[in-house]
Each structure stands twice: as structure tokens, then as C-alpha cells.
Structure 1
Amino acid sequence: MGRRSTGFRRSLGLAAAAAALTLAACSPQPAAQATPASESAASVHPVSGLAVIPLTVTSGSAVHRFRVEVAASNAEQSKGMMFRTEMGPDEGMIFPSDVPSARSFWMKNTPLPLDIIFIGTDGRILNVEYGEPYKLEPVSSAGITANVLELNAGRAAALGIGPGDLVEW
């Protein structure tokens, strides 16, 4: 019985400490310590719940900055941008590959038109394809792909992003 009561008291103490930390976490923080989400290195997307990270595309002397959701798991990659109806002009989604390979993407249940940007193992864009909303026929990479980036359709052309440009994240 002595061990049980000691364990119970320890559990009670841990619960009290957790409650105190929770209250402290909910209390307002000084403004000087606040960091806007747009400036933080990583955050979470409010719709998908995926991590959001900074990504750059270097096209000649121009550097284009984006905040992209990371679809890391097979389930996240399978869902991708399905059912999404909006995405900001400097937002996107990155699909990293565990093993680089030729990749194909389709637009099942995806209402947003997309630029599907296939990125080689050297971080350079191989090809940019148009993802037509709801189209079931896939678009494919022009070679071995390490990552795939999705942006709003036409964004790559508007910014002059194309094959050979460097993608870093």
C-alpha cells in the first residue's frame, strides 16, 4: 500500500505541475516575444494541419519565396490538395519522395487548377505541367523526381519559373 500511495501522490504532483504549465501557456505573453506566423520558420496550415515551411525558387537572378505545406506521409500525399477551394498566391504544397523516381499526379477531387512542378534530385526543375481540375489522366515527370511542388495554375509562368530553376526548402 505504501508504494501505491507514493505513486498516487507522485501522479497527483505531476498532474498539478501539468495544470500549472497549462495555465502559464494560456496566459498572455509580452508583445516583444510574439512572432508573426509569416516570419516563423515553420507553422501549421489551418485547413490541412500540415507543417508549413519556407521554400524558394531561384530563376536567374530572381528569388521567389513561398510558404508551402509539406505532404510527407503517403496518406498526406494521396490527399494532397483534394477538396481545397483556395490557396494564396505565395502558397503551395511540396511532396517529397523517400526514393527518387519518375512520378505522376492526377487531379481527382481537386477543384483548384494547379502548376505541378517536378523537381530532380539536384533540386532543379525538370518540367512544369498543368493540373486541370478533376482530371483523372495523370501528368508525369520528365525524369527522376525527388520532390513535386504544387502552386496555383499559371503562377510559375507569371513568375518566369521553369526547367532548370533551383528549388530549395
Structure 2
Amino acid sequence: MTKRALLSMLLLVPLAAHAATTPSVTLHGATFSTEFATDDATRELGLMNRKELAAGHSMLFVFPDDEPRSFWMKNTLIPLDILYFGKDRKLVSMQLNVPPCKADPCATYPSDGMARYVLELPAGTAARLGLKIGEPLTIDGDPGTVR
């Protein structure tokens, strides 16, 4: 094996390892890279002050228990689909095309049932996928923080 080929392989291994560990979620056959919000600080910050959320990307909020959840769009600059999932990772509720909050007080967007996971996607994604209540969510990556 030439030095050049060996060097190329050594450079590609870390990239492949990174790709294999990138957190993702799969919903209705579509996979999205995701950021996890698993503690109070990251859940509170969420997607605030971001100017975009690219297609194929998401944020997954993971809570330690099941209860009715309510989200708001304070300081969130982009419209979102907010999807609520129970402890069994089945879709229990959707708030679609939620607009950014332009002035206080900001509206809240509650779940229609008990939720442990909340997935935020770019607005219009749920409609594009044809999501229905009961859809399963698959979560890959970041073991140890996903319950």
C-alpha cells in the first residue's frame, strides 16, 4: 500500500466514525440529524435565536417523565412543526406551522396528551411526510441521555 493511500484511509476513518455517531431520528421513513436537549438549560434554550433550521435537521427534547407539555416560541426566529411523543415514542400530538413570536406575551402550543419527547422540525415537514397520530419515532445516537 502506498503512503498516499494509507494517509487517505487514516483521514477517512475519523470522518466515518463521526458520521456513524451523529445523532438522528427517523420518522415515517425520513431520517433527520438531530440535536438533543436533555437538561433544563438546553431545553430552555431550544432553537432560540437561530435564523434557520435546515431541511433534514431537528431538535429532540427529552424529558425524564411523561406529562402534558407546552412549548412557546419566545426568541425563536423560524416557524416550526412541534411534534409530541409519549414514552413509547409514538406521536400523540402535533402543532404545525407554529410561527415565531413577534411580541410578548407569546402564545403557547400544548400537547393533546402525555409526552416525554418533543421533536421540532422545519415548518411544513409534518405535512410533507403525511404524519398521523401514532407514528413511531426511532432515536439513534447519544446513548445514555435518551431514555
Higher gyration radius (CA)? 1
- Give, in whole Å, the separation in 1 of the partners of 2:118 and 2:50: 18
**By percentage of residues, which structure has more strand?**
2
- Give, in whole Å, the separation in 2 of the partners of 1:89 and 1:160: 16
Task: State the TM-score, normalized to the length of structure 1.
Answer: 0.70
- Please list, as runs of the form range in 1=range in 2, the aligned pairs for 1:86-97 lying within 5 A after superposition: 86-97=52-63
| Helix, strand or coil at the partner of 1:97 | strand
Where does residue 119 of structure 1 map in the other structure? 85
1:66-109: CA deviation from partner (whole Å, max 9, x where unpaired): 11100111011011011001111110000011111100000001
- Please list, as runs of the form range in 1=range in 2, the aligned pairs for 1:11-90 lying within 5 A after superposition: 30-36=10-16, 39-42=19-22, 53-57=23-27, 59=28, 63-90=29-56
1:110-140: CA deviation from partner (whole Å, max 9, x where unpaired): 0100000000121111111032101611111
Give identity over the alignment, percent. Answer: 32
- Give, in whole Å, the separation in 2 of the partners of 1:88 and 1:157: 16
Where does residue 163 of structure 1 map in the other structure? 133
Q: Which has the higher contact order (CA 8 A, sep 6+)?
A: 2
Structure 1 residue runs of 5 or longer lacking an equivalent are 1-27, 43-52
Where does residue 23 of structure 1 map in the other structure? none
- Give, in whole Å, the separation in 2 of the partners of 1:38 and 1:90: 17
**By percentage of residues, which structure has more helix?**
1
Aligned length: 128
C-alpha change, 1:31 and 1:97, in structure 2 (3 Å) is same
Q: Structure 1 residue 161: deviation in Å?
A: 1.9
| Helix, strand or coil at the partner of 2:32 | strand
Task: State the TM-score, normalized to the length of structure 2.
Answer: 0.80
C-alpha change, 1:32 and 1:75, in structure 2 (3 Å) is closer
Give the counterpart letter for 1:72 in structure 2.
T
Structure 2 residue runs of 5 or longer lacking an equivalent are 1-7, 140-147
- Give, in whole Å, the separation in 2 of the partners of 1:133 and 1:37: 36
Where does residue 154 of structure 1 map in the other structure? 124
Give the counterpart letter for 1:146 in structure 2.
R
Backbone CA RMSD of aligned residues? 1.9
- Runs of 4+ deviating beyond 4 Å: none
